[in-house]
Amino acid sequence: MSGDTVALDALLGLGLAAAYVCQGLRWLRVLQREHYDASSMFRFRFRWSNPAVASTRWARYWRFRPITLTHVLLVALVVTLALDLDRWAAGVTIAFGLFAPRGLSLKGRTGALVWTRRLKTVAVISTVLAVLIVGAGLASARPWILGALVVWLVPALLSATALLLAPYERRLAQKYVDLAVARLNRVRPLIVGITGSYGKTSTKHHLAALLSALDGVVSSPRSFNNRAGLSRAINETLADDTRVFIAEMGTYGPGEIAELCSWCPPTIAVVTAIGPVHLERMKNLDVVEQAKYEITESARCVVLNVDDERLAGWVIRLEEQGKKVRTAGSSTPTASVRVFDRDGRWQVSVEDQDVGSLEQVGGLQPTNLACAIAAALEVGASFENIVAGLARVVPVANRSNVATAPSGVTVIDDTFNANPASARAAISLLSDLRVPGRRVVVTPGLIELGVTQFDENDSLAREIRAAGADLAVVGRTNAKALTRGYASIVERFDTREQAVAWVRTTLVRGDGVLYLNDLPDHYP
């Protein structure tokens, strides 16, 4: 072997190592952002190779599929391998590892890697697997092939590692659950569990505000609504004098809420809505409903938003099980607790008795407030407590919050909401703004809606146009559906930062802008 060949092989080896590191940094960030869900690697690898697929129904896939850098390099890899040009295949792989997928950055724009113990474990074990595969390749007649494939298969290696470590991580986390159970058994608070496809965080905050006059009320912080988050919230925030613990409970599928309730059993359960959220994982609304129903198992009282038809159907079923049911809503006249519009204010009614009112502000959903009031009554708050608490009820951050920028542009921040119902409410709020000028919606669209995603985003764009607003589309995930639904000229941006810069240089005093949803940058 000549010196030139040795030098070339050394460069190719270093290049493949650098390509592997670059791919690892990209996909470790995706895995961490997706809570180490092994299946997420395949979903997001597919998204980045086929960025229009997430916004199309399967029947439309081939018509809308774009050609990406990954496709070009994959064809080049196949050709070079077929022609026994293994060193060329290694060169193609280096280009892929360093630069693809285009847009999935090494550093991260909205969330950098956090080198936790778990992430380091995944990184080390997946790298050991990669080294073993490369070692096997070196012993073969075509040593470059497995080295190249390792770079292409980084998401698969990470997925296998996450799957392999899942039982160990669960056992490791069990000690924190055990500590949380011990603390609950010692403090013995009244537990209010809140779930729903959407509205659970707002309802939790509203309930905490209504009970703020009472001593010993603690709620789980932020979106700590899974096994790890809830146990952490209990261990870090539950003081010995806690009388009421408000626990938000989320789920990606049947069994998760039942498991949470097995060690953090709510006496009062609140269900805010059943809607098309996480359908990518749960497939249909029947599965969503099944998953949410699990929170009722240990509850003596269940608060239901009966404006939701599916939840209205639970009333008789739960009463037949001997449970007390409190109904809440806005548009349902028979709801025991109602929050509805009266002369431009939210009127609060309990058992047809008016108990108070509050100013209508953007981001405050009446059904969420009604559920919170019903739960507060079950906790034992008096009408006086509730009326006093109404003054402390405010919209939750990033959920249809309305403000005026220094430029005089009215801004609606709805970047945290990501479901069809909240999107429609935000568009209605934009339409109702008393601004004389232009209205603009900046959005990447709605996600995790399964096979309904294309149609939901198509419909969203139609509603935006019907509201007389201009549309600025961020990213590629739902660009096809949004552009088709809007059926007119749209502004296109790769990132939200670019869209914000455009808004700041384009809109003027008297204009209004709605920032609807904001996807992290591991979405294309």
Average pLDDT, the chain: 90
The amino acid present at 270, given as its one-letter code, is V
pLDDT greater than 60 at residue 458: yes
User: What's the Cα-to-Cα distance from 337 to each of 352, 376, 386, 501, rounded to whole Å?
Assistant: 8, 11, 12, 44
pLDDT confidence tier of residue 398, bands split at 50, 70 and 90? low
| CATH code 3.90.190.20 for 401-516 | yes
Give all strands of the β-sheet with 268-271 in edge-to-edge order. 217-219, 244-248, 190-195, 268-271, 301-305, 324-329, 337-342, 345-350, 353-359
Q: What percent of the chain has pLDDT over 90?
A: 65
Q: Is the pTM of this model over 0.85?
A: yes
Average pLDDT estimate for 228-253 = 93
Q: What percent of the chain has pLDDT over 70?
A: 96
Fold classification of 188-390 is UDP-N-acetylmuramoyl-L-alanine:D-glutamate ligase (3.40.1190)
Residues 469, 231: Cα–Cα separation, whole Å: 44
pLDDT greater than 50 at residue 64: no
Omega into 101 within 30° of 0, i.e. cis? Answer: yes
pLDDT greater than 90 at residue 25: yes
Residues 304, 295: Cα–Cα separation, whole Å: 12
Instruction: List all residues 6 or more positions away from 363 whose beta carbon is below 8 Å from its beta carbon.
Output: 395, 396, 399, 400, 401, 402, 414
pLDDT confidence tier of residue 356, bands split at 50, 70 and 90? confident
Average pLDDT estimate for 435-444 = 94
The residue among 293, 285, 292, 311 whose CA lies nearest residue 452 is 285
What tokens appear for 198 in the block?
Answer: 């959407």
pLDDT greater than 80 at residue 83: yes
For 493, phi then psi, to 5°, come to -140, 145
pLDDT greater than 50 at residue 69: yes
Residues 128, 468: Cα–Cα separation, whole Å: 56
For 274, phi then psi, to 5°, come to -120, 115
pLDDT greater than 80 at residue 3: no
Q: What is the pLDDT of residue 234?
A: 96
258-310 tens-digit pLDDT: 999 999 999 999 999 998 877 777 788 899 999 999 999 999 999 999 999 99
How crowded is the C-beta side of 365, counted as CA atoms within 13 Å? Answer: 30
467-503 tens-digit pLDDT: 999 999 999 889 989 999 999 999 999 999 999 999 9
106-131 tens-digit pLDDT: 888 777 899 999 999 999 999 999 99
In the block, which residue shows the tokens 């669960």? 170
pLDDT confidence tier of residue 438, bands split at 50, 70 and 90? very high
pLDDT greater than 60 at residue 55: no
pLDDT confidence tier of residue 53, bands split at 50, 70 and 90? low
Q: What is the pLDDT of residue 51?
A: 59
Lowest mean pLDDT among 19-23, 88-92, 399-403: 399-403
206-234 tens-digit pLDDT: 999 999 888 899 999 877 889 999 999 99
Residues 294, 306: Cα–Cα separation, whole Å: 18
Q: What is the pLDDT of residue 45?
A: 87
2 burial (CB, 10 Å; 0-12 / 13-18 / 19+) is exposed
Where in the chain are the domains?
Answer: 3-166, 188-390, 401-516
